[in-house]
Amino acid sequence: MFSGMRDYFRTETVSILFSISIGLLIAYSLVKFVQYSIIDIYRITNESLTPNLYPGDRVWILKTDPCIRIPFFSAIHCKKTCRPNEIFVFQHPAFKTPLIKFAVEAKDNTGKCFFIGSNLENSVDSRNFGSIHLHDVLGRVVWTHKFVKLPHDYK
């Protein structure tokens, strides 16, 4: 009698654990899909955008502006240009690291944008490496989150 109940509970436990693990896998896949193709978060690491953004601040970028990337394919469709005075994240042309800068000029006929930081003395930007092609623009900043120093951070 007890062995039948034990088998029943063992089967139910395995079934529940399997359902939970499948649910977690689906949730993780959905989060990664959104992060790759729709929205992502970057951290400001230098002072090139001060006084607008400071090191430690976070920016949320919309990855569908100006180009749409199709996950798991290398297809990129650029639907518009970079609008001046908006902040964009793009890849450094040589090092392929993300940079966060203001768009200054959009060159419609070449599909390139010119970016600069607001702190001109401490900024590596398009003045150093030229205009950036739209395919290298990762997205437009849609929201910023200021880093707040806590009292123990001042020690």
pLDDT tens digits for 26-68? 999 998 888 878 889 999 988 888 888 888 899 999 988 877 7
Contact between 99 and 124 (Cβ < 8 Å)? yes
Strands (E), 37-97: 39-43, 58-62, 67-69, 76-78, 87-91
**Residue 134 confidence (pLDDT) above 80:** yes
The whole-number average pLDDT for the span 134-147 is 88
Side chain identity at residue 91, one-letter code = Q
Phi and psi (nearest 5°) for 59? -125, 140
**Best CA proximity match to 135, nearest among 73, 56, 79, 62:** 79
pLDDT tens digits for 65-113? 877 777 666 667 777 778 888 999 998 888 888 999 999 877 667 788 8
Task: Determine the pLDDT at residue 88.
Answer: 93
CATH class given for the domain over 39-154? mainly beta
Q: Could you give the CA distance from residue 25 to residue 132 in angstroms, rounded to a whole number?
A: 37
**Best CA proximity match to 88, nearest among 55, 53, 121, 56:** 53
Per-domain residue ranges of the chain: 1-37, 39-154
Q: In what order do the strands lie in the sheet with 58-62?
A: 39-43, 58-62, 137-145, 87-91, 98-107, 112-116, 132-133
pLDDT band at 150; cut points 50, 70, 90: low
Q: Could you give the CA distance from residue 122 to residue 93 in angstroms, rounded to a whole number?
A: 18
Task: Determine the pLDDT at residue 147.
Answer: 77
